[in-house]
Amino acid sequence: MKQRYPKLPIKVGKARMRLLTAIITGDNDLANWVRAAVDQGQVIGSPAAIRELKHRLDEVLEPEPQATDATATASSAGP
């Protein structure tokens, strides 16, 4: 089934709701769509609310930290 997205521009509250839906369902495509809308200036609202949404997007979409070679070597070396 094709994902349906609202027409742009959207209000910051609706963008926040879409982001929360993406977090709960694990839908990376929806989260990336919200990020694209924010980056293109298609989200309407107060500058403070948009900054908060951008911050939340950065937290949600940042890559998971991966073990470095030094960390993996230290943990496997043992006592």
Residue 44 to residue 28: CA distance in whole angstroms? 22
pTM of the model: 0.72
Residue 65 to residue 45: CA distance in whole angstroms? 32
Per-residue pLDDT of the chain (79 residues; tens, 9 = 90+): 566 777 889 999 999 999 999 999 999 999 999 999 999 999 999 999 999 999 999 998 876 666 555 555 555 555 5
How is the chain split into domains, by residue range? Answer: 1-62
Beta strands in 1-79 (DSSP E): 10-11, 43-44
